[in-house]
Structure 1
């Protein structure tokens, strides 16, 4: 009888401990999230995807592609600005019209604000990712008005999904990739606001790892790291010790990847933050559910800890973009069920 009572008490205590641990973790996660909102509700398109976000001296600017369905000719690039705490109605700023009888879909916008310079909007036009080309527009008024889009030089695609980084020397490094000869990563560099470009790579031949859509982390000095989407069920990493000219062999991290886009940023305090889907496909298969959507952090870029769940219900929550604004807060946008774009603000000190 005493043994039974002891067992019952032990089970009760363990249950209390687990329950308290769950609520403590949940409360900590909830307290880190400062804002959880949709950028828009009613819009003139059925589907949207591939958002990007940037901070300007006049506030936040977000962009994405939207139309009847990804890859359809009517898919355009849309922009919204956050003014006085409210997002403006989405405005179409780019399309794939070539002439009155030919039109292509647009893809994967990427925003980048040059310090004391223009806001740049990179995007792609073409029938398919294996055949698209890079385009660029600029804005001198924080996204209110835009220049005429122009095509980037041959073989220069612009940042393929995630933002470029600016080195201390003023060199812009765009993380890019191609899908026409296996999935391969390369880099595009400019020191004159895109007037001329230098092509680096590709850094892999797709024989072992098929990777696209890298994001770049800064480790101080000339050391850079990429994290990339892969077909191999893991987030894949590579390192450069000469500011992006040469890269190490690709290797998997300890984080899963269901063949879905990720994005990462190095915070002001040196912590690295990644937004990704913590799931993967079945053994021997690539591709899995694009849920849950998570935030992981790392001090060294090698060991990653999953610290926050943004979405965990059935559905697609994917293609995140992440930045840190001047006030230290982290801004994340992502695809919500291909119907809307969600914006979440996180206080990284509470992760």
Structure 2
């Protein structure tokens, strides 16, 4: 438990000044006001005409009025949020929507995955498509039982053209079993295959995996647990089978994370570096997926800063999007070539990250 205690002590009392940290480019709210009081679980994607972001919004998480909202960035400005998905049955019964995921396959429509239902144990997965980069959307298609598509984080495009999704299920019994599986579609969501569950759901209760590329057919997945640390699991055959799930040295307060493999081969992880609470929100980088180094503190004041999504765009910049106090969605732009990193020792975030240029 030494590393968990140290990570708690390492949270600085001062407000993180993101603008002074190497690699920072820009920070903004996607909207200042909206027709819903609460928001969460955002996702971001690059299309040919610009960025698009989505999240769920409504009275509060799980309320029947919660739908999926979307904004598009054009000429550096985000559009007013528009509701693009709800779940209403023929009899007028409303169900809450959850965890949208945007993904743009090459030479194909923009995909919007989302979930709806009373609780995660009762979710149904849905998929909408857009042929005009998010301006209009198709009717929803239902994802088959036993599948939900990418449960929180973006899928990845595999060399064979298939889309590999990090997914997970939460069982209805108590204690609920949180188990990871990987789902794959080779035809843009028309048909699906999946792995078996890769953990027992209790010894390590894991959900919401991100997928990273280690070279060749080797993949790494990392994500959320109820064990106060992030999980990791590897595949040697492009995600068809996976090894044993283990816990990392990085803390996790039972909150969502996201990660991306950069074009220079490094991996970038956005997560809450604490075993309890959802502040601070941090960025770490790794050259091998094993050893992580501190890079940025995005937020560290009281409140909730959580559920990040992260992508690298065609210009090389990294775009991070996350929940800001359940009130707004924040967007941060980072230049990964200018990040400066410091070691994370025994799980403790360093008092300063200004130590070594990233990748050196």
| Structure 2 residue corresponding to 1:183, chosen from 178, 191, 200 | 178
User: Displacement of 1:253 after TM fit?
Assistant: 1.4
| Structure 2 residue corresponding to 1:141, chosen from 132, 137, 143 | 132
Partner of 2:35: 44
| Structure 1 residue corresponding to 2:51, chosen from 60, 65, 85 | 60
User: Displacement of 1:293 after TM fit?
Assistant: 0.2
Partner of 2:300: 312
SS of 2:133's equivalent in the other structure is coil
Distance in structure 1 (CA, Å) of the matches to 2:140 and 2:127: 5
Partner of 2:80: 89
SS of 2:122's equivalent in the other structure is coil
Which runs of structure 1 show a deviation greater than 2 angstroms over 4 or more consecutive aligned residues? 25-31
Contact 2:164 2:184 in 1 (8 A): yes
| Structure 1 residue corresponding to 2:116, chosen from 122, 125, 138 | 125
2:61 counterpart of 1:73: no
- Higher relative contact order (CA closer than 8 Å, sequence separation 6+): 2
| Structure 2 residue corresponding to 1:108, chosen from 93, 99, 104 | 99
Farther off after superposition, 54-63 or 181-190: 181-190
SS of 2:132's equivalent in the other structure is coil
Partner of 1:339: 327
Q: 1:246-257 to 2 correspondence within 5 Å? A: 246-257=241-252
Unaligned ranges ≥5, structure 1: 1-24, 281-287
Paired residues, what number?
320
The 3 A distance-change label for structure 1 pair 151 and 309 is: same
2:312 counterpart of 1:321: no
User: Displacement of 1:27 after TM fit?
Assistant: 8.6
Contact 1:295 1:309 in 2 (8 A): yes
Distance in structure 2 (CA, Å) of the matches to 1:31 and 1:305: 14
User: Displacement of 1:100 after TM fit?
Assistant: 3.8
2:255 counterpart of 1:260: yes
Unaligned ranges ≥5, structure 2: 1-15, 340-360
Partner of 2:234: 239
User: Displacement of 1:86 after TM fit?
Assistant: 0.3
TM-score (norm. length: structure 1) = 0.89
SS of 2:319's equivalent in the other structure is strand
Richer in helix (by share): 1
SS of 2:189's equivalent in the other structure is coil
The 3 A distance-change label for structure 1 pair 29 and 263 is: farther
